[in-house]
């Protein structure tokens, strides 16, 4: 009996164990089954791709192919196998291509033949059916050909058709292991996919040749990802009202909205309402927007309609990031920036990403980077900023162009040859009214050059009958305190007569809006910039520079080290602290940055 009872005590336990084991085994089997990836057999892929390319107009009615003949050739070389998929999963090259298509077409997707909306929709809804994956693979190949052709031909660079822009500077395809870029015309993009370029190099081609490698571009990509997520959230970007200013100590319902807005933009921690010292967009992009107000830790504490000190500091940070006076007050200019929607910022970021395509792969060991839209200039040496200063740029009617040039010389105590347009519109009409006007400003009327140079006496000119539109002489301003170029000129070789120089009106640097010149760039620290550029020239220190200025003699000095100068137009960038910066589009270039018509070379 004892043995029997012992046996009877265990049946339930034994059955339970069996059930547990069976359940575990079943769960493991189901898990293993769920991890089994479907396979796209080679003959099946070949069958469907052959069908698609036999009648492409029929199979691609929703999004017509741009390069059907070239695609047929490509897949023939590939024996009609998928190029961007490994079975039913995107390859790393496919993932890189989708990323590149999204970020380059996001500002104006309707203007780019990249099938972006169609591709993204099919990726989200794709099922494991051979017809779907092969259809999508062909679309990606067509999009790649269009994108590669645009990237290599310079068609992605914005504002190309503006009259103050230089010829396109092509730098993206300097990787000779991929492309032969000796010809001034871009190579046919189809050559990128033929036998000369193995399939395993497609990812490197997309990420390293067709995509700028500058850290500024890659940082903006992170910012773009965050703003895309913000735009797709359920948060309503309600504009702030145009009521009176809000400041520290105020109680107002819009203070709650201000807290929310600054939290979403990264200037205020969400739940504790503490300042974020610097943006990190990789972390920001990981936010969960699914809480009621689309950001975590949204629980409102008592008195959150109160404008406190933390909110003041957060608002100051926001103002600094937007080039505003950091007064911590919700004023008219600050409201205008807060009301700009994520979709508008997405366009702005995307256009500025494309501007990086102006630049060469390597900026140089030492270079000058001027931001026209921010009115600032930096000298960078060995990756470190060694000098920063404010600048004055061209006014809207005489815009400073985007330029990429090398500086080889500088001129101490320069003369100023007054441009004919300025002479006709500003100087000569005054000289006609007042014969002493020119002498008072140190301006001479000159004919000829070199040994033939002759100064003309203003009294010998019949000002009453002279045709100012066809004035036969040139005007030169002598060196001195009143010279418009100041103490130093930094020449650049270009067709626009654009260069950097000092100014006789330093008070203008006190203004916040400094689009004031006739196109040239005036620098606020001319002597410091001179010393920085001459530091490799033996014997040229600040004392010698000061002595040279005092003697008023014009001196031309060659730089020991040529220095690249980049006059760029950044209205969006990520600074050295990881913070996204935005500036006003003073020349309206962002709004006019339409994708130019792409001329197919295939």
> For the segment 443-491, what is each residue's pLDDT rounded down to a tens digit?
999 999 889 999 999 989 999 888 999 999 999 999 988 899 999 999 9
Domain boundary among 179, 213, 247: 213
Phi, psi of 388 (to 5 degrees): -130, 145
Into how many domains does the chain fold?
4
> Would you say residue 591 lies in a domain?
no
Q: Tell me the average pLDDT across 250-265.
A: 93
String of DSSP letters for 251-317: B-HHHHHHHHHHHHTTSS-TTT----SS--HHHHTT----STTSSSS-PPPTTTTB--HHHHHHHHH
92: closest CA among 222, 200, 213, 224? 200
Q: Are residues 166 and 72 in the same domain?
A: yes
Please identify which of the residues 279, 347, 520, 595 carries the catalytic annotation.
520
Integer-rounded Cα Rg, in Å, for the chain is 32
> Would you say residue 320 lies in a domain?
yes
Q: Are residues 98 and 204 in the same domain?
A: yes
Residue 187 Ramachandran class (φ > 0 left, ψ -120 to 50 alpha, else beta): beta
What is residue 585's three-state secondary structure?
A: coil
CA distances from 188 to 80, 147, 219, 222, 245 (A): 21, 12, 30, 31, 58
pLDDT of residue 443: 95
Quick one: pLDDT band at residue 77, thresholds 50, 70, 90? confident
Q: Are residues 14 and 57 in the same domain?
A: no
What long-range pairs does 499-502 form, CB within 8 A, spacing at least 24? 500/368, 500/370, 500/407, 500/529, 500/565, 501/414, 501/526, 502/526
Q: Are residues 141 and 169 in the same domain?
A: yes
State how far the Cα of 136 lies from the Cα of 134, in Å rounded to an integer: 5
Q: Are residues 248 and 328 in the same domain?
A: yes
**Three-state SS letters, 398-427:** HCCCCEEEEEEEEEECCCEECCHHHHHHHH
> Would you say residue 423 lies in a domain?
no
What is residue 5's three-state secondary structure?
A: helix
State how far the Cα of 598 lies from the Cα of 111, in Å rounded to an integer: 10
> Would you say residue 222 lies in a domain?
no
pLDDT of residue 274: 42
Question: Residue 169 pLDDT more than 70?
Answer: no
Looking at per-residue pLDDT, the higher value among 261 and 21 belongs to 261
Q: For position 406, which CATH number holds? A: 2.40.440.10
- Residue 501 a catalytic site member: yes
* Under 8 Å between Cβ of 203 and 99: no
559: closest CA among 361, 366, 390, 417? 366
pLDDT of residue 303: 66
> Would you say residue 523 lies in a domain?
yes
Query: Any idea which of 138-147, 242-251, 567-576 has the lowest mean pLDDT?
Result: 242-251
pLDDT of residue 199: 76
Q: Are residues 82 and 126 in the same domain?
A: yes
Question: Residue 331 pLDDT more than 90?
Answer: yes
CA 553 to chain centre: 42
Q: For position 274, which CATH number holds? A: 1.10.101.10
Q: Tell me the average pLDDT across 579-601.
A: 72
Q: Are residues 199 and 256 in the same domain?
A: no
Quick one: pLDDT band at residue 602, thresholds 50, 70, 90? very low
Q: Are residues 331 and 410 in the same domain?
A: no
Instruction: For helices 309-321 and 253-264, give the axis angle rounded to 10 degrees.
Output: 50
Residue 159 Ramachandran class (φ > 0 left, ψ -120 to 50 alpha, else beta): left
**Quick one: what percent of the chain has pLDDT higher than 90?**
57
Q: Would you say the pTM of this structure is higher than 0.95?
A: no
Please identify which of the residues 165, 501, 549, 595 carries the catalytic annotation.
501
174: closest CA among 372, 436, 362? 362
Q: Are residues 204 and 57 in the same domain?
A: yes
Quick one: pLDDT band at residue 290, thresholds 50, 70, 90? very low
What is residue 564's three-state secondary structure?
A: strand
Q: What is the pLDDT of residues 94-137, one digit of tens each?
A: 999 999 999 999 988 778 889 999 999 889 888 788 889 998 99
Question: Residue 196 pLDDT more than 60?
Answer: no
Q: Are residues 400 and 487 in the same domain?
A: yes
> Would you say residue 549 lies in a domain?
yes
Question: Residue 298 pLDDT more than 70?
Answer: no
Which residues fall within 8 angstroms of residue 94, CB to CB, at 6 or more apart?
84, 85, 140
E strands along 462-546, which residues? 474-477, 488-490, 500-501, 515-517, 521-523
Query: Any idea which of 116-130, 263-277, 428-442, 555-569 has the lowest mean pLDDT?
Result: 263-277
> Would you say residue 229 lies in a domain?
no
Quick one: pLDDT band at residue 287, thresholds 50, 70, 90? low
pLDDT of residue 271: 39
> Would you say residue 436 lies in a domain?
no
- Residue 520 a catalytic site member: yes
Q: Tell me the average pLDDT across 540-568.
A: 94
State how far the Cα of 454 lies from the Cα of 256, in Å rounded to an integer: 72
What is residue 573's three-state secondary structure?
A: strand
Question: Residue 259 pLDDT more than 80?
Answer: yes
Question: Residue 57 pLDDT more than 90?
Answer: no
Q: Are residues 510 and 401 in the same domain?
A: yes
Question: Residue 437 pLDDT more than 60?
Answer: yes
Question: Residue 212 pLDDT more than 50?
Answer: yes
pLDDT of residue 364: 93
Give residue for tokens 């969960």.
288
* Under 8 Å between Cβ of 88 and 40: yes
Q: Tell me the average pLDDT across 35-54.
A: 84
Q: Which structure tokens are listed for 400?
A: 């400073």
Q: Are residues 171 and 256 in the same domain?
A: no
Q: Tell me the average pLDDT across 44-73.
A: 85
Query: Any idea which of 1-15, 342-356, 388-402 has the lowest mean pLDDT?
Result: 1-15
Question: Residue 165 pLDDT more than 60?
Answer: no
Looking at per-residue pLDDT, the higher value among 257 and 281 belongs to 257
Question: Residue 18 pLDDT more than 50?
Answer: no
Domain residues for 17?
2-35
């Amino acid at each position: 009996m004892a043995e029997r009872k012992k046996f009877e005590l265990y049946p339930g336990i034994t059955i339970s164990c069996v059930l547990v084991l069976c359940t575990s085994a079943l769960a493991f089997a189901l898990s293993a089954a769920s991890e089994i990836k479907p396979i796209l057999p080679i003959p099946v892929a070949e069958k469907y791709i052959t069908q698609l390319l036999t009648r492409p107009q029929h199979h691609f009615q929703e999004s017509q192919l741009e390069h059907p003949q070239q695609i047929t050739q490509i897949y023939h070389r590939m024996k009609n196998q998928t190029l961007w998929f490994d079975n039913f999963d995107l390859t790393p090259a496919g993932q890189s291509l989708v990323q590149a298509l999204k970020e380059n077409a996001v500002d104006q997707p309707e203007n780019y033949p990249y099938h972006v909306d169609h591709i993204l929709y099919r990726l989200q809804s794709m099922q494991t059916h051979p017809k779907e994956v092969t259809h999508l693979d062909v679309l990606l190949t067509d999009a790649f050909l269009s994108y590669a052709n645009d990237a290599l031909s310079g068609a992605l660079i914005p504002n190309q058709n503006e009259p103050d822009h230089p010829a396109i500077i092509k730098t993206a395809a300097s990787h000779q292991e991929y492309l032969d870029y000796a010809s001034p015309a871009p190579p046919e993009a189809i050559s990128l996919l033929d036998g000369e370029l193995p399939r395993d190099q497609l990812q490197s081609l997309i990420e390293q040749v067709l995509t700028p490698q500058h850290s500024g571009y890659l940082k903006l990509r992170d910012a773009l990802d965050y703003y895309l997520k913000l735009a797709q959230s359920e948060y309503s970007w309600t504009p702030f009202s145009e009521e009176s200013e809000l400041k520290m100590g105020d109680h107002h319902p819009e203070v709650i909205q201000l807290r929310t807005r600054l939290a979403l933009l990264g200037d205020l921690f969400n739940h504790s309402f503490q300042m974020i010292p610097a943006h990190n967009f990789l972390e920001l992009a990981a936010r969960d927007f699914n809480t009621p107000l689309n950001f975590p830790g949204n629980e409102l504490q008592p008195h959150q309609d109160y404008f406190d000190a933390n909110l003041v500091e957060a608002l100051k940070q926001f103002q600094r990031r937007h080039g505003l006076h950091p007064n911590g007050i919700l004023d008219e200019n600050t409201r205008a920036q807060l009301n700009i929607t994520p979709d508008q910022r997405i366009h702005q970021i995307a256009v500025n990403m494309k501007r990086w395509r102006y630049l060469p792969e390597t900026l140089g060991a030492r270079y000058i980077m001027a931001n026209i839209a921010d009115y600032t200039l930096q000298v960078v040496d060995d990756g470190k900023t060694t000098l920063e200063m404010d600048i004055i740029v061209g006014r809207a009617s005489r815009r400073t162009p985007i330029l990429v040039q090398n500086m080889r010389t500088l001129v101490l105590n320069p003369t100023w040859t007054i441009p004919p347009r300025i002479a006709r519109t500003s100087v000569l009409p005054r000289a006609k009214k007042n014969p002493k006007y020119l002498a008072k400003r140190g301006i001479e009327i000159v004919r000829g050059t070199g040994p033939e140079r002759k100064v003309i006496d203003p009294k010998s000119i019949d000002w009453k009958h002279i045709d100012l539109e066809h004035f036969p002489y040139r005007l030169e301003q002598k060196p001195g305190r009143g010279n418009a170029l100041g103490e130093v000129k930094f020449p650049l070789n270009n067709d626009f007569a654009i260069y950097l120089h000092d100014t006789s009106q330093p008070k203008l640097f006190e203004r916040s809006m400094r689009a004031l010149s006739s196109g040239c760039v005036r620098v606020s620290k001319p002597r410091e910039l001179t010393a920085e550029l001459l530091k490799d020239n033996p014997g040229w220190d600040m004392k010698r520079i000061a002595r040279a200025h005092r003697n008023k003699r014009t001196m031309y000095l060659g730089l020991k080290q040529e220095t690249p100068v980049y006059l760029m137009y950044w209205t969006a960038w990520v600074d050295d602290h990881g913070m996204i910066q935005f500036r006003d589009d003073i020349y309206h270039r962002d709004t006019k940055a339409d994708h130019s018509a792409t001329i197919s070379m295939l």
